[in-house]
Structure 1
C-alpha cells in the first residue's frame, strides 16, 4: 500500500485535490507492483512553510512504500509528480521536494506483512 502525503503552503481547491489524486493513481503504476486501488493520499494545504529563510509557495511530498522499489522507477515517478504538481498547484519545481521511505514490513487489514 503506497501512502503519499502532500504538504504545501498553497490552498488546493477540492477540484485540484481530485485532479492530483487521480493523476497520482496513474503515476503510482510506474513503480512495479503499486496500484491505485491500494494507494492512500493525504493532503495538508495552507500550511505555514519557510524555505531558504523565507515564507513562500512550497511543497514537500512524502512517499511511503511497502518493500523497496527500483531506483529508475522512483526517479521517473518523482519527476512526473513534480511536473504534475507544478501544473496543477502552481508550485515551481525548484520549490517542490519529495522523498521515499521504504519498509520491509507493513500492517494492513490487521495483519503484518
Structure 2
C-alpha cells in the first residue's frame, strides 16, 4: 500500500510521468516487495520549494508512505534508486532531492471502508 508523491517546482510532461510511475513501481517492488497493484503515485507539480534559503530551480521532494516496516538497508536502496531515477528522467542532481520514508501501522491506513 505505498504512496509515492513527487513534489516539484516544474510541470512534468505526461510521457515522463509514465516513465516515473513505472520506475517508482519497479523500485517499490524490487526493494520493498510492494506490488504495483497496490501502489499509488502522485505528482504534486508547480510548487514553490526553497532549499538553502533560495528558490529551488530543479529538484524535489519524494514522500513515500507505506504499511509495514523496512530495514535500514532497504531504505538506503530506495533512496539511492529514487535519486537515480529522478536524475535519469528529469536531470535532477542527487543533492537537490529530499526523500522522506514514512512507515505506517496497518491500523492507521484506511482503504475500501476498512483498515489494514
TM-score, reference length from structure 1: 0.93
1:47 aligns with 2:47: yes
- Once residues 25 and 62 of structure 1 are traced to their aligned partners in structure 2, the CA distance between those partners, rounded to angstroms, is 14
Secondary structure of 2:5's counterpart equals strand
Q: Structure 1 residues 35 and 10, CA, compared in 2 at 3 Å: closer, same or farther?
A: same
Per the alignment, residue 28 of structure 2 pairs with 28
Comparing 31-40 and 72-81, the one that deviates more: 31-40
1:91: how far off? 1.2
TM-score, reference length from structure 2: 0.91
- Once residues 90 and 16 of structure 2 are traced to their aligned partners in structure 1, the CA distance between those partners, rounded to angstroms, is 7
Per the alignment, residue 94 of structure 1 pairs with 95
Runs of 4+ with deviation above 6 angstroms: none
> Are the aligned partners of 1:30 and 1:73 in contact in 2 as well (CA < 8 Å)?
no
1:24: how far off? 0.8
Q: Number of residues paired by the alignment?
A: 113
Secondary structure of 1:12's counterpart equals coil
- Once residues 15 and 84 of structure 2 are traced to their aligned partners in structure 1, the CA distance between those partners, rounded to angstroms, is 18
Q: CA RMSD in A?
A: 1.2
> Are the aligned partners of 1:30 and 1:76 in contact in 2 as well (CA < 8 Å)?
no
Per the alignment, residue 111 of structure 1 pairs with 114
- Once residues 62 and 54 of structure 2 are traced to their aligned partners in structure 1, the CA distance between those partners, rounded to angstroms, is 19
